[in-house]
């Protein structure tokens, strides 16, 4: 059965690849990002109905508008994927207050805003699925230049785990999944704060990882091949 799936950061990288994969499976999509032209380009590739929303997920009002437009377009949301995020290329001792504030806002608050926007809808329906895209760096600190980013993704992991516990007893039909991809060959490194455009080298003694493509990550984005039919 076709589901309605919201993807933030849906204009490029993992988000765009997930959109293509989910459309191929027959799902209807709501894609949100800041770049209208990129959103339009991705939407043009999809085989199923899609609604695009130009929005900045660091603003709570924009995230709530994504939800409202999704409900206006399709009447329901089944899955919400918090995918938008941004990296940074600075070691711990060089981080500024502004760096940390930016990382918190883009990588943690955006997830919190998404959760708080959509979970009441899921609670009302008695079912739904939140998917938070984290990073293996939240568990394995092998990229010192990604220090603040790694810390923020660890916070995302914790938020997801606590949300899962909060909902387990009262709303067992709501699922919370955390996805932790490894190194992925996207524009992430180039777009990171203070980036030189290159992927940071691993610490001494650590072998470099083979980057995954977004297409390799997308089928494992936390969404089962077939979701349970709506009750």
Q: Which residues participate in catalysis according to the annotation?
A: 149
List the end-to-end C-alpha distance of the chain, in Å, as a whole number: 12
Alpha carbons 79 and 223: distance in angstroms, whole number: 9
Q: 52 forms bridges with which residues in the sheet?
A: 31
Cβ 145 vs Cβ 157: under 8 Å = no
Element (H, E) at 178: strand 174-179
Alpha carbons 49 and 30: distance in angstroms, whole number: 9
């Amino acid at each position: 059965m076709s589901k309605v799936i919201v993807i933030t950061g849906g204009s490029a990288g993992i988000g765009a690849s997930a959109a293509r994969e989910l459309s191929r499976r027959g799902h209807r999509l709501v894609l949100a990002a800041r770049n209208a032209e990129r959103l339009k380009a991705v939407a043009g590739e999809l085989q199923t109905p899609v609604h695009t929303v130009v929005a900045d997920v660091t603003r709570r009002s924009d995230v709530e508008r994504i939800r409202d437009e999704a409900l206006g377009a399709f009447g329901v949301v089944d899955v919400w994927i918090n995918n938008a995020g941004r990296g940074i290329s600075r070691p711990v001792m060089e981080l500024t207050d502004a760096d940390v504030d930016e990382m918190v806002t883009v990588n943690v608050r955006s997830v919190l805003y998404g959760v708080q926007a959509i979970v009441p809808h899921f609670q009302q329906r008695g079912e739904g699925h939140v998917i938070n895209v984290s990073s293996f760096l939240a568990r394995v600190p092998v990229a010192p230049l990604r220090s603040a980013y790694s810390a923020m993704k660890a916070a995302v992991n914790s938020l997801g785990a606590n949300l899962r516990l909060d909902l387990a007893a009262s709303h067992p039909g709501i699922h919370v999944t955390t996805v932790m991809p490894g190194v992925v060959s996207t524009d992430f490194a180039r777009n990171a704060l203070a980036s030189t455009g290159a992927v940071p080298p691993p610490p001494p003694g650590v072998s470099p990882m083979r980057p995954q493509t977004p297409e390799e990550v997308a089928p494992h984005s936390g969404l089962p091949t077939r979701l349970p039919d709506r009750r």
